[in-house]
Amino acid sequence: MTAPREAPDGHELGSAEWTDLSAADRDHLRRAIRLGREGWGSVHPNPMVGCVLVRNDTVVAEGIHRSFGGPHAEADALAQAGGEAKGATAYVSLEPCRHQGKTPSCALALHAAGIARVVYWAPDPGQEEGGGGRLLEKNGVRVQGPHGSEEEWRGENPFFFHRPQGNRPYVAVKLAVSLDGGIAPAGGRRQWLTGPEAQVEVHRLRAGFDAILVGAGTWRADDPKLTVREWDPPAVPPLRVFIDPRGDMGATAAAFQGDGGPVVLAVGEPAVDPTAARLGSRAEIVGLPVGPGGLDMACLLDVLGRRGVRTLLCEGGGRLVATLLASGLADRLYLFQAPLLLGPRRVPAFPASDTPREENGEGTAAPGGSFSRWRRVRPPETFGSDILITLDRSL
């Protein structure tokens, strides 16, 4: 299947609380935010950024940060606008950077091009990169920003605004769930719950993460490759991580066929040597402590973080997802709801007492003492006949 060229539109950010902006300002700023989403899977660990240049109420250029190490959105827009940038307003989804890194300072570039006004949405939290707004003001440019809230900024650029504790990567979990809360029919037999449109969206999500993780039950039932196939593949394929407590994964597994990138097999410490001897160079074997609940997930995340994994997408199954949620190790939940029923003997998505729920207007916490509050990142999105609900752990 050919990958669509634009990312889903997602949520409409911003509200009537932007009292210092006109209706036209808000529209242009929202457009900049939407443009930035086109960098998903290409710009990490940089943020997704979009820029719109407007002069005399006319859009003269639109820019996108398209790839890590490539021109920033402001530079992309300025190159297109040429002399028409003089006197224009720049609407940017992230505060223009002030420092010289892989690319020149965007704040200085905007000033040099004669931009008269800059409206930005989210502040740049970097110690070196931040402060571009103040730099522009010192050079006589009118600046308005930031707008929105920290939760909105984190919802849009979750990796960029993630502040890890130790080596722990940013962790998102993805599950496809039936209307009656199941992830598989009785007996756990394999069955696709979602349609092709939702499956394309999963591949788009994969393209934006450093690593993909699945539990033992999932790979035994599905034998997944965990590669990006129905979306433009990233420059570096995601690391594929499989939970395999006893070291049972065979050499004929789909993940070992073809060139899909490196594979990590997380096994119990007693299984390290026999698994390594059996699989040879097919996988990197990581030994983890084994407790009453299975392998130590916090230890695995620490190992992956020290290996350079900053972002991790867990694709199930239910037991692994429940462990990550209950342990406070998950930052985001992608919940695909399929329009079907699996029946009373279905495999449940979550333990009954630990189902994560959205925080309501009064701030009611989710049931189960192990869960923090969760908030919806955007309105539900439709992919074919399936619905995607995206939740973030509240700050």
Where in the sequence numbering do the catalytic residues fall? 74
Residue 12: count of CB within 10 angstroms of its CB: 12
Residue with tokens 């911003």: 14
100 φ, ψ to 5°?
-90, 115
Token pair in block for residue 274: 């026999």
Assigned token pair, 210: 């450093």
Structure tokens at 25: 């300002």
253: closest CA among 290, 282, 286? 282
The DSSP letter of residue 353 is G
Amino acid in the structure at residue 380 = P
Sign of the C-alpha dihedral computed for residues 122, 201, 75 and 79 taken in this order: negative
Alpha helical stretches, state H, 58-187: 73-81, 106-112, 132-138, 150-156
- DSSP category for residue 77: H
Radius of gyration of the chain (CA): 23
Alpha carbon distance 44, 99 (integer Å): 18
Q: Which residue from 79, 81, 76 is spatially nearest to 66, judged by alpha carbons?
A: 76
Which residues, in sequence order, are CB contacts of 207 under 8 Å at separation 6+?
Answer: 40, 41, 228, 231, 232, 233, 234, 238
| Cα dihedral sign, 282-215-235-259 | positive
Buried/exposed code over 327-358 (b: 16+ C-beta within 10 A; e: otherwise): eebbbbbbbbbbeeebeeebbbbbeeeebbee
